[in-house]
Amino acid sequence: MRRLAAALASVTGSLILVAGGATAASASPMAVAEEPPYSQVKCLNSEYASTCFQWVGDDQWIIDREANGWAAVVHVQTNYGKNVECKAMPAAEGWALCKFDHEEGKCVRFRLYELKDDVKRKETAWSPWYGTEYGSLC
């Protein structure tokens, strides 16, 4: 059952890119029961949310830590022009997982913000750049 759910999430969470340079797209998050595998991720934390990048599989984990009516969102950017976002499940509902297919041997960074009615607030600074192949600093 878990493999079927993961396979479906891979298909439904697939990224649709718009033609052109730096485009923005969103992936549908999949709710997951477990936490990220902390030995295989690079994380960014704030008072309202946390996100972790897992380089094996190009998975982006996110959790909303405040039930305040604002959605936690992670903005993911690559050094080859890809801009994507992943929205957390509502507060207190656990980790969400978005599956992105980044190019191997490239770099990725991410930042958090809160969103409500198309208004952004509490943007964090960007994380360092991490390699998409091994998670090392770029």
Residue 79, domain extent: 2-131
What pLDDT, on a 0 to 100 scale, did the predictor assign at position 16? 26
**Is residue 137 in some structural domain?**
no
pLDDT in tens, 87-99: 998 887 899 999 9
**Is residue 62 in some structural domain?**
yes
Residues 6 or more apart from 82 whose CB is under 8 A from it? 17, 22, 23, 76, 102
Percent of the chain whose predicted confidence (pLDDT) is above 70: 78
- Range scoring the smallest mean pLDDT among 14-18, 84-88, 103-107, 126-130: 14-18
**Is residue 11 in some structural domain?**
yes
Domain harbouring 40, CATH code: 2.60.40
**Is residue 136 in some structural domain?**
no
